[in-house]
Amino acid sequence: MSEPTRIAAPDGVAPAAQYSHVVTATGRLVAVSGQVALDEDGTLVGAGDATAQARQIFRNLRHCLAAAGATFDDVVKLTYFVTDMAQMPAIRAARAEHIPDDRLPAASAVQVAALVRPEFLMEIEAFAVVDA
């Protein structure tokens, strides 16, 4: 796989803050379903705590990516589903523990009325591209 190309500010578009507008990559697509703050035993981590939930979700994403032979370096797109946009700083902090600012993927953040269980504050899905 060639190194993904990240374009934070294509011509005619305002510069991106905390994500890349465009990421191109060639290889095998890895789609990771939305992850929530459950540990490996299915126990909720961080009831009412956005920081703890975000950290657990990024741990889960790391494990899922590894199962497909991918790492956070291969991630080209993240989608954040949050019950309150005030949770975004916690998500950005957890993301920064795994993805440096010079490797930011494309991203979308969507506020939702609810997730599958009321104790979940957020859900995050990922797309990565690895060698074919």
CB distance 2 to 132 below 8 Å = no
Q: Indicate if the pLDDT at residue 128 is higher than 90.
A: yes
Q: In the structure, what pLDDT confidence band is assigned to residue 6 with cuts at 50, 70 and 90? A: confident
The residue whose two tokens read 């379903």 is 33
Nearest-angstrom CA–CA distance, 28 and 117: 32
- Going by the DSSP 8-state scheme, the letter that residue 38 receives in this structure is B
Q: What is the pTM of this model?
A: 0.93
Q: Indicate if the pLDDT at residue 48 is higher than 60.
A: yes
pLDDT tens digits for range 76-98:
999 999 999 999 999 999 999 99
Question: From residue 57, how far is each of 45, 48, 71, 128 by CA, in Å?
Answer: 9, 14, 15, 16
Per-residue model confidence (pLDDT) at position 47 = 98
Q: Indicate if the pLDDT at residue 1 is higher than 90.
A: no
Q: Indicate if the pLDDT at residue 3 is higher than 90.
A: no
Per-residue model confidence (pLDDT) at position 65 = 97
pLDDT tens digits for range 15-40:
888 898 889 899 999 999 999 999 99
Q: Which helix (H) or strand (E) holds 53?
A: helix 50-67
C-alpha closest to that of 37 among 51, 57, 62, 64: 57
Domain boundaries, the chain: 5-130
Q: What is the CATH number of domain 5-130?
A: 3.30.1330.40
Per-residue model confidence (pLDDT) at position 121 = 98
Nearest-angstrom CA–CA distance, 77 and 123: 14
Per-residue model confidence (pLDDT) at position 72 = 97
Per-residue model confidence (pLDDT) at position 24 = 87
